[in-house]
Protein backbone atom coordinates (compact mmCIF):
# COMPACT_ATOMS: atom_id res chain seq x y z
CA UNK A 1 0.00 0.00 0.00
CA UNK A 2 1.12 3.56 -0.73
CA UNK A 3 2.51 5.36 2.28
CA UNK A 4 1.04 8.78 2.93
CA UNK A 5 3.67 11.50 3.22
CA UNK A 6 3.58 14.99 4.71
CA UNK A 7 2.55 17.86 2.43
CA UNK A 8 5.29 19.58 0.40
CA UNK A 9 6.64 22.60 2.27
CA UNK A 10 5.71 21.25 5.72
CA UNK A 11 8.01 19.52 8.19
CA UNK A 12 7.69 16.98 10.97
CA UNK A 13 9.64 17.98 14.04
CA UNK A 14 11.04 14.74 15.42
CA UNK A 15 12.09 14.11 19.04
CA UNK A 16 15.76 14.84 18.31
CA UNK A 17 14.73 18.38 17.29
CA UNK A 18 11.78 19.29 19.46
CA UNK A 19 14.01 19.92 22.48
CA UNK A 20 15.63 22.80 20.55
CA UNK A 21 12.18 24.27 19.93
CA UNK A 22 11.20 23.87 23.57
CA UNK A 23 14.36 25.65 24.73
CA UNK A 24 13.87 28.48 22.24
CA UNK A 25 10.19 28.86 23.17
CA UNK A 26 11.12 29.04 26.88
CA UNK A 27 13.65 31.78 26.08
CA UNK A 28 11.04 33.69 24.07
CA UNK A 29 8.54 33.57 26.95
CA UNK A 30 11.17 34.62 29.47
CA UNK A 31 12.52 37.43 27.29
CA UNK A 32 9.07 38.89 26.62
CA UNK A 33 8.16 38.73 30.28
CA UNK A 34 11.33 40.69 31.07
CA UNK A 35 9.99 43.47 28.82
CA UNK A 36 6.47 43.24 30.30
CA UNK A 37 4.87 41.78 27.15
CA UNK A 38 1.93 39.37 27.53
CA UNK A 39 1.13 36.41 25.32
CA UNK A 40 -1.83 36.38 22.94
CA UNK A 41 -3.09 33.33 20.99
CA UNK A 42 -5.49 33.60 18.07
CA UNK A 43 -7.30 30.92 16.01
CA UNK A 44 -5.58 29.10 13.12
CA UNK A 45 -8.03 30.51 10.55
CA UNK A 46 -9.83 33.78 10.00
CA UNK A 47 -12.21 35.36 7.52
CA UNK A 48 -10.29 35.89 4.28
CA UNK A 49 -11.36 39.53 4.22
CA UNK A 50 -9.23 40.24 7.28
CA UNK A 51 -6.05 39.67 5.27
CA UNK A 52 -7.32 41.33 2.10
CA UNK A 53 -8.14 44.49 4.07
CA UNK A 54 -4.85 44.60 6.02
CA UNK A 55 -1.98 42.85 4.25
CA UNK A 56 -3.44 44.19 0.97
CA UNK A 57 -4.89 42.60 -2.15
CA UNK A 58 -1.88 43.49 -4.35
CA UNK A 59 0.65 41.75 -2.09
CA UNK A 60 2.16 38.35 -2.92
CA UNK A 61 0.72 36.95 0.29
CA UNK A 62 -2.91 37.75 -0.60
CA UNK A 63 -2.55 37.45 -4.35
CA UNK A 64 -0.86 34.09 -4.58
CA UNK A 65 -0.02 32.50 -1.28
CA UNK A 66 -3.07 32.19 0.93
CA UNK A 67 -4.64 28.83 1.78
CA UNK A 68 -8.27 29.87 1.41
CA UNK A 69 -11.44 27.87 1.05
CA UNK A 70 -15.20 28.20 1.30
CA UNK A 71 -16.49 26.06 4.15
CA UNK A 72 -19.77 24.12 4.27
CA UNK A 73 -21.53 27.23 5.59
CA UNK A 74 -20.37 29.38 2.66
CA UNK A 75 -17.79 31.32 4.71
CA UNK A 76 -14.64 32.41 2.92
CA UNK A 77 -11.83 31.39 5.29
CA UNK A 78 -8.03 31.53 5.27
CA UNK A 79 -5.32 29.77 7.27
CA UNK A 80 -3.45 32.69 8.76
CA UNK A 81 -0.45 33.73 6.67
CA UNK A 82 0.73 36.29 9.26
CA UNK A 83 -0.26 37.48 12.72
CA UNK A 84 -0.40 41.26 12.75
CA UNK A 85 -3.90 41.24 11.24
CA UNK A 86 -5.36 38.54 13.55
CA UNK A 87 -3.85 40.17 16.64
CA UNK A 88 -5.22 43.56 15.55
CA UNK A 89 -8.62 41.95 14.94
CA UNK A 90 -8.55 40.48 18.47
CA UNK A 91 -7.38 43.81 19.95
CA UNK A 92 -10.36 45.58 18.37
CA UNK A 93 -12.93 42.83 19.06
CA UNK A 94 -12.08 42.49 22.77
CA UNK A 95 -11.66 46.25 23.22
CA UNK A 96 -8.26 45.78 24.83
CA UNK A 97 -7.55 49.47 24.40
CA UNK A 98 -10.39 50.37 26.79
CA UNK A 99 -8.86 48.72 29.84
CA UNK A 100 -5.30 49.75 29.12
CA UNK A 101 -3.84 52.68 27.18
CA UNK A 102 -0.99 50.48 26.04
CA UNK A 103 -1.10 46.79 25.13
CA UNK A 104 2.22 45.03 24.68
CA UNK A 105 1.53 41.60 23.22
CA UNK A 106 3.64 38.70 21.93
CA UNK A 107 2.98 35.39 20.20
CA UNK A 108 4.54 32.14 19.02
CA UNK A 109 2.50 30.51 16.27
CA UNK A 110 2.29 28.49 13.05
CA UNK A 111 1.57 30.25 9.75
CA UNK A 112 0.73 29.17 6.23
CA UNK A 113 1.86 30.64 2.91
CA UNK A 114 1.82 28.75 -0.38
CA UNK A 115 5.26 29.88 -1.50
CA UNK A 116 7.75 27.83 -3.52
CA UNK A 117 9.49 25.74 -0.85
CA UNK A 118 13.26 26.09 -0.57
CA UNK A 119 15.89 26.24 2.16
CA UNK A 120 14.49 28.57 4.83
CA UNK A 121 11.13 28.87 3.11
CA UNK A 122 8.23 26.59 4.00
CA UNK A 123 4.50 26.50 3.43
CA UNK A 124 3.86 25.96 7.13
CA UNK A 125 6.35 27.88 9.24
CA UNK A 126 6.49 29.48 12.67
CA UNK A 127 7.01 32.98 13.93
CA UNK A 128 7.45 34.66 17.22
CA UNK A 129 6.58 38.31 17.28
CA UNK A 130 5.31 41.29 19.21
CA UNK A 131 2.56 43.82 18.53
CA UNK A 132 2.23 46.98 20.63
CA UNK A 133 -0.96 49.04 20.52
CA UNK A 134 -1.26 52.54 21.95
CA UNK A 135 2.03 54.42 21.62
CA UNK A 136 2.74 56.71 18.69
CA UNK A 137 6.13 57.70 20.03
CA UNK A 138 9.52 56.80 18.53
CA UNK A 139 10.71 55.20 21.77
CA UNK A 140 8.16 52.44 21.17
CA UNK A 141 9.61 51.70 17.72
CA UNK A 142 13.08 51.73 19.25
CA UNK A 143 12.02 49.42 22.10
CA UNK A 144 10.85 46.68 19.78
CA UNK A 145 13.81 47.02 17.42
CA UNK A 146 16.15 46.73 20.39
CA UNK A 147 14.14 43.76 21.65
CA UNK A 148 14.36 41.92 18.33
CA UNK A 149 18.06 42.60 17.93
CA UNK A 150 19.14 41.81 21.49
CA UNK A 151 17.04 38.65 21.56
CA UNK A 152 18.77 37.31 18.45
CA UNK A 153 22.13 38.38 19.86
CA UNK A 154 21.38 36.67 23.17
CA UNK A 155 21.01 33.39 21.25
CA UNK A 156 24.60 33.76 20.12
CA UNK A 157 23.89 34.93 16.56
CA UNK A 158 26.73 37.27 15.70
CA UNK A 159 26.32 37.47 11.92
CA UNK A 160 23.15 39.56 12.01
CA UNK A 161 22.59 43.00 10.52
CA UNK A 162 19.81 45.50 11.01
CA UNK A 163 18.32 47.70 8.27
CA UNK A 164 15.78 50.40 9.00
CA UNK A 165 13.80 52.89 6.97
CA UNK A 166 10.71 55.04 7.10
CA UNK A 167 7.99 55.02 4.48
CA UNK A 168 6.17 57.98 6.00
CA UNK A 169 2.49 58.38 6.78
CA UNK A 170 -0.11 57.22 4.29
CA UNK A 171 -1.12 60.82 3.59
CA UNK A 172 2.04 61.50 1.58
CA UNK A 173 1.77 58.32 -0.40
CA UNK A 174 -0.64 59.59 -3.08
CA UNK A 175 1.84 62.12 -4.51
CA UNK A 176 4.70 59.61 -4.39
CA UNK A 177 2.65 56.91 -6.08
CA UNK A 178 1.71 59.22 -8.98
CA UNK A 179 5.39 60.01 -9.53
CA UNK A 180 6.28 56.30 -9.43
CA UNK A 181 3.55 55.45 -11.92
CA UNK A 182 4.63 58.20 -14.32
CA UNK A 183 8.24 57.03 -14.22
CA UNK A 184 7.66 53.30 -14.35
CA UNK A 185 4.99 53.34 -17.05
CA UNK A 186 7.84 53.69 -19.53
CA UNK A 187 9.01 50.19 -18.62
CA UNK A 188 5.55 48.66 -18.60
CA UNK A 189 6.33 46.24 -21.42
CA UNK A 190 9.13 44.69 -19.30
CA UNK A 191 6.80 43.85 -16.43
CA UNK A 192 4.94 40.59 -15.83
CA UNK A 193 1.14 40.62 -15.82
CA UNK A 194 1.04 40.74 -12.03
CA UNK A 195 3.57 43.59 -11.86
CA UNK A 196 1.61 45.56 -14.49
CA UNK A 197 -1.41 45.22 -12.21
CA UNK A 198 0.69 46.41 -9.27
CA UNK A 199 1.95 49.36 -11.29
CA UNK A 200 -1.66 50.44 -11.77
CA UNK A 201 -3.00 49.69 -8.32
CA UNK A 202 -0.15 49.77 -5.79
CA UNK A 203 3.29 50.51 -7.31
CA UNK A 204 5.00 50.40 -3.89
CA UNK A 205 4.69 46.63 -4.11
CA UNK A 206 7.04 46.65 -7.15
CA UNK A 207 9.96 47.21 -4.73
CA UNK A 208 9.52 43.68 -3.42
CA UNK A 209 8.49 42.01 -6.68
CA UNK A 210 9.86 38.47 -7.01
CA UNK A 211 10.74 39.28 -10.65
CA UNK A 212 14.42 40.23 -10.73
CA UNK A 213 14.16 42.40 -13.85
CA UNK A 214 11.29 44.38 -12.37
CA UNK A 215 13.18 44.91 -9.13
CA UNK A 216 16.24 46.09 -11.03
CA UNK A 217 14.22 48.63 -13.04
CA UNK A 218 12.51 49.92 -9.92
CA UNK A 219 15.73 50.16 -7.94
CA UNK A 220 17.53 52.02 -10.71
CA UNK A 221 14.69 54.32 -11.78
CA UNK A 222 12.43 55.06 -8.88
CA UNK A 223 13.10 57.84 -6.37
CA UNK A 224 12.94 56.61 -2.78
CA UNK A 225 9.93 57.42 -0.65
CA UNK A 226 12.25 58.97 1.92
CA UNK A 227 12.52 62.06 -0.30
CA UNK A 228 8.75 62.60 -0.07
CA UNK A 229 7.95 62.07 3.59
CA UNK A 230 6.81 64.91 5.84
CA UNK A 231 8.87 66.83 8.41
CA UNK A 232 7.04 65.02 11.22
CA UNK A 233 7.78 61.63 9.68
CA UNK A 234 11.45 62.54 9.37
CA UNK A 235 11.60 63.75 12.96
CA UNK A 236 10.00 60.52 14.15
CA UNK A 237 12.59 58.53 12.20
CA UNK A 238 15.49 60.64 13.48
CA UNK A 239 14.33 60.04 17.03
CA UNK A 240 14.16 56.27 16.49
CA UNK A 241 17.70 56.38 15.05
CA UNK A 242 18.96 58.49 17.91
CA UNK A 243 17.75 55.98 20.53
CA UNK A 244 19.30 53.15 18.52
CA UNK A 245 22.58 55.10 18.34
CA UNK A 246 22.59 55.53 22.12
CA UNK A 247 21.88 51.83 22.61
CA UNK A 248 24.99 50.94 20.61
CA UNK A 249 23.09 48.83 18.09
CA UNK A 250 24.60 49.06 14.60
CA UNK A 251 22.19 49.58 11.72
CA UNK A 252 22.08 50.83 8.16
CA UNK A 253 19.44 53.10 6.69
CA UNK A 254 18.16 51.28 3.61
CA UNK A 255 15.94 53.79 1.78
CA UNK A 256 14.49 51.03 -0.40
CA UNK A 257 13.15 48.95 2.49
CA UNK A 258 9.36 49.20 2.03
CA UNK A 259 8.44 45.62 3.14
CA UNK A 260 5.92 43.42 1.36
CA UNK A 261 2.79 44.15 3.37
CA UNK A 262 0.48 47.13 2.84
CA UNK A 263 -0.26 48.14 6.41
CA UNK A 264 3.05 49.83 7.24
CA UNK A 265 3.39 53.52 7.99
CA UNK A 266 6.62 55.28 9.01
CA UNK A 267 9.24 52.90 10.48
CA UNK A 268 10.10 49.64 8.71
CA UNK A 269 12.97 47.34 9.64
CA UNK A 270 14.51 43.97 8.91
CA UNK A 271 17.20 41.85 10.54
CA UNK A 272 19.16 39.57 8.24
CA UNK A 273 21.67 36.81 8.83
CA UNK A 274 24.62 36.35 6.48
CA UNK A 275 24.68 32.61 7.20
CA UNK A 276 21.20 31.97 5.77
CA UNK A 277 21.68 32.06 2.00
CA UNK A 278 19.01 33.56 -0.24
CA UNK A 279 16.21 33.54 2.36
CA UNK A 280 18.23 35.70 4.70
CA UNK A 281 15.53 37.68 6.56
CA UNK A 282 15.30 36.54 10.16
CA UNK A 283 12.92 39.20 11.30
CA UNK A 284 10.82 42.02 9.88
CA UNK A 285 8.50 44.62 11.25
CA UNK A 286 7.44 48.20 11.48
CA UNK A 287 4.80 50.70 12.46
CA UNK A 288 1.20 50.39 11.27
CA UNK A 289 -0.63 53.39 12.73
CA UNK A 290 -3.65 53.15 10.45
CA UNK A 291 -4.50 49.46 10.62
CA UNK A 292 -6.70 49.48 13.73
CA UNK A 293 -8.95 52.12 12.20
CA UNK A 294 -8.86 50.42 8.80
CA UNK A 295 -10.20 47.25 10.44
CA UNK A 296 -13.03 49.09 12.19
CA UNK A 297 -11.47 50.08 15.52
CA UNK A 298 -10.81 53.53 16.94
CA UNK A 299 -7.64 55.03 15.55
CA UNK A 300 -4.71 53.58 17.57
CA UNK A 301 -1.02 53.72 16.73
CA UNK A 302 0.75 50.37 16.64
CA UNK A 303 4.10 48.80 15.91
CA UNK A 304 5.45 45.25 15.84
CA UNK A 305 7.77 42.66 14.36
CA UNK A 306 7.89 38.95 13.66
CA UNK A 307 10.85 36.58 13.42
CA UNK A 308 10.91 33.23 11.64
CA UNK A 309 11.60 30.42 14.10
CA UNK A 310 12.82 27.88 11.48
CA UNK A 311 15.32 30.44 10.22
CA UNK A 312 16.54 31.20 13.74
CA UNK A 313 17.02 27.48 14.37
CA UNK A 314 18.87 27.08 11.05
CA UNK A 315 21.36 29.75 12.07
CA UNK A 316 21.79 28.12 15.48
CA UNK A 317 22.26 24.61 14.05
CA UNK A 318 26.06 24.61 14.38
CA UNK A 319 25.96 25.56 18.03
CA UNK A 320 23.34 23.07 19.14
CA UNK A 321 24.64 20.19 21.24
CA UNK A 322 22.56 17.11 20.65
CA UNK A 323 23.25 15.85 24.15
CA UNK A 324 20.88 13.39 25.72
CA UNK A 325 19.20 14.89 28.72
CA UNK A 326 19.39 12.44 31.61
CA UNK A 327 16.32 10.99 33.30
CA UNK A 328 16.09 10.37 37.02
CA UNK A 329 14.87 6.78 37.26
CA UNK A 330 14.31 3.80 34.95
CA UNK A 331 11.91 1.26 36.45
CA UNK A 332 13.05 -2.28 35.60
CA UNK A 333 10.13 -4.69 35.96
CA UNK A 334 11.00 -8.37 35.57
CA UNK A 335 7.92 -10.37 36.45
CA UNK A 336 4.33 -9.82 35.41
CA UNK A 337 3.44 -9.50 39.13
CA UNK A 338 5.80 -6.50 39.27
CA UNK A 339 3.99 -4.49 36.59
CA UNK A 340 1.20 -3.04 38.67
CA UNK A 341 3.17 -2.25 41.87
CA UNK A 342 6.01 -0.93 39.71
CA UNK A 343 3.75 1.47 37.81
CA UNK A 344 2.15 2.62 41.08
CA UNK A 345 5.53 3.27 42.64
CA UNK A 346 6.60 5.19 39.51
CA UNK A 347 3.54 7.41 39.75
CA UNK A 348 4.08 8.07 43.47
CA UNK A 349 7.69 9.04 42.85
CA UNK A 350 6.66 11.40 40.02
CA UNK A 351 3.98 13.04 42.16
CA UNK A 352 5.74 13.22 45.51
CA UNK A 353 9.40 13.60 44.53
CA UNK A 354 8.94 15.54 41.26
CA UNK A 355 11.35 13.22 39.46
CA UNK A 356 11.20 11.75 35.94
CA UNK A 357 10.54 8.01 35.92
CA UNK A 358 10.30 5.79 32.84
CA UNK A 359 8.67 2.38 33.22
CA UNK A 360 9.33 -0.67 31.05
CA UNK A 361 6.39 -1.58 28.80
CA UNK A 362 8.08 -3.98 26.39
CA UNK A 363 8.56 -6.88 28.85
CA UNK A 364 12.23 -7.16 27.86
CA UNK A 365 14.82 -9.25 29.67
CA UNK A 366 16.53 -7.84 32.76
CA UNK A 367 19.72 -7.33 30.70
CA UNK A 368 18.07 -5.35 27.92
CA UNK A 369 16.15 -3.25 30.41
CA UNK A 370 19.43 -2.41 32.16
CA UNK A 371 20.96 -1.53 28.77
CA UNK A 372 17.98 0.77 28.11
CA UNK A 373 18.48 2.48 31.50
CA UNK A 374 22.09 3.16 30.51
CA UNK A 375 21.12 4.38 27.04
CA UNK A 376 18.66 6.84 28.56
CA UNK A 377 21.32 8.14 30.92
CA UNK A 378 19.24 7.25 34.01
CA UNK A 379 20.65 8.33 37.37
CA UNK A 380 18.99 5.39 39.13
CA UNK A 381 17.22 2.20 38.21
CA UNK A 382 14.67 0.51 40.44
CA UNK A 383 14.48 -3.23 39.91
CA UNK A 384 11.42 -5.24 40.88
CA UNK A 385 11.32 -9.01 40.24
CA UNK A 386 9.59 -12.01 41.82
CA UNK A 387 11.79 -12.02 44.98
CA UNK A 388 11.17 -8.33 45.57
CA UNK A 389 7.42 -8.75 45.15
CA UNK A 390 7.45 -11.57 47.75
CA UNK A 391 9.40 -9.47 50.26
CA UNK A 392 7.61 -6.22 49.34
CA UNK A 393 10.94 -4.57 48.49
CA UNK A 394 12.76 -3.15 45.46
CA UNK A 395 16.42 -2.84 44.48
CA UNK A 396 17.65 0.67 43.97
CA UNK A 397 20.74 0.89 41.80
CA UNK A 398 22.83 4.04 41.54
CA UNK A 399 23.73 4.01 37.85
CA UNK A 400 26.74 6.32 38.31
CA UNK A 401 28.70 4.21 40.83
CA UNK A 402 26.91 0.85 40.47
CA UNK A 403 25.96 0.61 44.18
CA UNK A 404 22.79 -1.36 44.91
CA UNK A 405 20.57 -1.40 47.99
CA UNK A 406 17.51 -3.43 48.79
CA UNK A 407 14.78 -1.28 50.32
CA UNK A 408 11.25 -1.75 51.71
CA UNK A 409 8.69 -0.46 49.22
CA UNK A 410 7.23 2.03 51.71
CA UNK A 411 10.62 3.67 52.37
CA UNK A 412 11.43 4.40 48.73
CA UNK A 413 9.56 7.70 48.48
CA UNK A 414 11.37 9.04 51.52
CA UNK A 415 14.70 7.91 50.10
CA UNK A 416 14.16 9.97 46.95
CA UNK A 417 12.64 12.93 48.78
CA UNK A 418 15.82 13.16 50.85
CA UNK A 419 17.84 12.83 47.63
Name the residues that contact ligand HAM, by CB under 6 A: 82-84, 113, 115, 121-122, 125, 127, 129, 131, 261, 281-286, 304-308, 310-311
CB of 125 vs ligand HAM, minimal distance in Å: 3
Question: Is the CB of 310 or the CB of 360 nearer to ligand HAM?
Answer: 310
Question: Is the CB of 123 or the CB of 173 nearer to ligand HAM?
Answer: 123
Question: Is the CB of 117 or the CB of 385 nearer to ligand HAM?
Answer: 117
Distance CA 406, CA 404 (A): 7
CB of 152 vs ligand HAM, minimal distance in Å: 11
CB of 81 vs ligand HAM, minimal distance in Å: 8
CB of 237 vs ligand HAM, minimal distance in Å: 17
Q: Which residue is nearest to ligand HAM (CB)?
A: 308
CB of 126 vs ligand HAM, minimal distance in Å: 8
Question: Is the CB of 286 or the CB of 297 nearer to ligand HAM?
Answer: 286
CB of 127 vs ligand HAM, minimal distance in Å: 5
CB of 263 vs ligand HAM, minimal distance in Å: 8
CB of 180 vs ligand HAM, minimal distance in Å: 22
CB of 47 vs ligand HAM, minimal distance in Å: 17
Question: Is the CB of 233 or the CB of 388 nearer to ligand HAM?
Answer: 233
SS (H, E, C) the chain: CCCCCCCCCCCCCCHHHHHHHHHHHHHHHHHHHHCCCEECCCCCEEEHHHHHHHCCCCCHHHHHHCCEEECCCCCEEEECCCCHHHHHHHHHHCCHHHHCCCEEEEEEEEEECCCCCECCECCEEEEEEEEEECCCCHHHHHHHHHHHHHHHHHCCCCCEEEEEEECCCHHHHHHHHHHHHHHHHHHHHHCCHHHHHHHHHCHHHHHHCCCHHHHHHHHHHCCCHHHHCCHHHHHHHHHHHHHHHHHCCCCEECCCCCCCCCCCCCEEEEEEECCCCCCCEEEEEEECCCHHHHCCCCCCCEEEEEEEHHHHHHHHHHHCCCCCCCCCEEEEECCHHHHHHHHHHHHHHHHHHCCCEEECCCCCCHHHHHHHHHHCCCCEEEEECHHHHHHCEEEEEECCCCCEEEEEHHHHHHHHHHC
Question: Is the CB of 128 or the CB of 330 nearer to ligand HAM?
Answer: 128
Question: Is the CB of 133 or the CB of 176 nearer to ligand HAM?
Answer: 133
Find out whether 46 and 90 touch, Cβ atoms under 8 Å.
Answer: no
Question: Is the CB of 165 or the CB of 393 nearer to ligand HAM?
Answer: 165
Distance CA 119, CA 102 (A): 38
Question: Is the CB of 125 or the CB of 330 nearer to ligand HAM?
Answer: 125
- Edge-to-edge strand list for the sheet holding 302-308: 38-39, 103-112, 124-133, 302-308, 281-287, 267-273, 160-166, 252-253
Amino acid sequence: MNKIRNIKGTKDLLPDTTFIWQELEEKIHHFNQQFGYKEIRTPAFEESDLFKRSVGSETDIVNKEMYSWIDQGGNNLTLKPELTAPVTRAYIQHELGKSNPINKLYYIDALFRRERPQKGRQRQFHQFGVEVFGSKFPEQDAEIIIMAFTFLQSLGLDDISLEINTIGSKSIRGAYITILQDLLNKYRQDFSAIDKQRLDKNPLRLFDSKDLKCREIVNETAPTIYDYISKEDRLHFDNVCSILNDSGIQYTHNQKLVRGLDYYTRTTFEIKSSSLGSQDALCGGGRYDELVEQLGGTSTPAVGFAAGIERIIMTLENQIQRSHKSIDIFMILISSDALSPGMNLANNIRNKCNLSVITETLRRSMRSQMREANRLNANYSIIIGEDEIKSNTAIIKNMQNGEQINMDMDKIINYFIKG
